[in-house]
Amino acid sequence: MLSGVRTQPFQSGRGPLSPGSRAGLGAALALLALVSAVELADGRPAHYVALMVAAPFLAAALASWRVVLGVGVLATVIGASFALAERTMSLVSAVNVAGIALATAIAAAVASVRQRQAEQIAELSKLAAVAQQAVLRPLGPQVGTLSVAGRYISSTATAEIGGDLYEAMDTPYGVRMIIGDVRGKGLDAVRLASIVLGSYRHVAYERADLRAVVTDLDRAVARNVGDEDFVTAALVEERGGTLTIVNCGHPPPLLLRRGAVIPLEPPAPAPPLGFMPVVRPRVERLEPGDRLLLFTDGLGEARRDGEFFPTADRAWRLLGHGTVADGLASLETALVEWVHGRLDDDIALVLMEYTGPRSGPTAAVPSWEVGAAES
């Protein structure tokens, strides 16, 4: 999704030249023009023709093999013209021209190999993006009584793939959301993220208690990871204006209310999924207009010159305006500017806004609030 300038794929067919091919062609032609000008100024015999051997290799660094071949043919023709202009073509001039032709063949072969590799990388990047999109479905804009937006920020420019995850669903027990971060990167992390999300999308509809959801997710993770693998996660439920959060080793969500930013720390720490967490819910009453930011630790670790991004200090100014999607866009822009476009880790963001109670029958009070309500 961001960070860095994306490499343009090399075009293998006929048509407009890619930016890389144009740059390679321009550099090679500039070199040929410079050598030709020096050779003309020097006069006979041809002293600098051998320098033209660099033109096809210069083009090969950026351009397609067709462009490299064209540059090489042009360099060979120019070199041969200077050599033939001598009264008697010397052996050195003939060898120089032959060297240009040989260099053209080698450079074209190198460019062809590099181009195939670049096309394979581009294809893998597309597949990675498809895999990521299959795991992370678009959120919102409305889920139950909540306005919701999600955003995935990749730390790499070539492959948007990682182990951060999120989901939001309107279930019989209220709107439920999860955000998590799988230890590690690459396809193994995406596989585990898909397992967690697949399990969550099932048990979130089946379990009335978020603690039971955590237990089921922990079993799913434990069955599919090694001893040192785990998934940090925060699970959120909004039911009848009551916000319930359980946290498994994940950064606490931030509650934005009337200009204040409140970290919703758990009542007691719990380990990540995969380590049999025993969680204690944190319960808050929501007010219309409250916003909640869920994020992975890539946001907390974003820094420049050793200084971390001041998320809590700037959260209200960045996230408290416009729609929730506008807020996340502002946060991403500020974050990228802060780190100068270089992130060390992927970041998943979910921002929700409580718009008020549902119309119709009041939702049931969460089971862990019943005792408190009666006392």
pLDDT per residue over 143-197, tens digit each? 998 999 999 888 765 455 678 999 999 999 999 999 999 987 777 888 888 899 9
Amino acid, res. 278: V
Burial class (CB in 10 A: 0-12, 13-18, 19+), 85: middle
Angle between helices 91-135 and 65-84 (to 10 degrees): 170
pLDDT at 28 over 80: yes
Looking at residue 7, its pLDDT comes to: 38
Q: Which residue has the tokens 């540059």?
A: 71
pTM of the predicted model, to two decimals?
Answer: 0.68
Q: Which of 110, 97, 106, 105 is nearest to 63 (CA)?
A: 110
Contact criterion met (CB below 8 Å) for 266 and 245: yes
pLDDT digits (tens, 9 = 90+) for 262-272: 999 999 999 99
Q: What angle do CA 60, 64, 69 make, to 5 degrees?
A: 70
pLDDT at 9 over 60: no
Contact criterion met (CB below 8 Å) for 208 and 173: yes
| Chain mean pLDDT for the chain | 85
Comparison of pLDDT for 36 and 211, the residue scoring more? 211
pLDDT digits (tens, 9 = 90+) for 202-242: 999 999 999 999 999 999 999 988 777 899 999 999 999 99
Instruction: Give the pair of three-digit tokens for residue 348.
Output: 């998943």
Looking at residue 216, its pLDDT comes to: 97
Question: Is the peptide bond between 141 and the residue preceding it cis, with omega within 30 degrees of 0?
Answer: yes
Q: Which of 161, 105, 98, 97 is nearest to 133 (CA)?
A: 161
pLDDT at 133 over 60: yes
Q: Which of 144, 137, 139, 64 is nearest to 107 (CA)?
A: 64
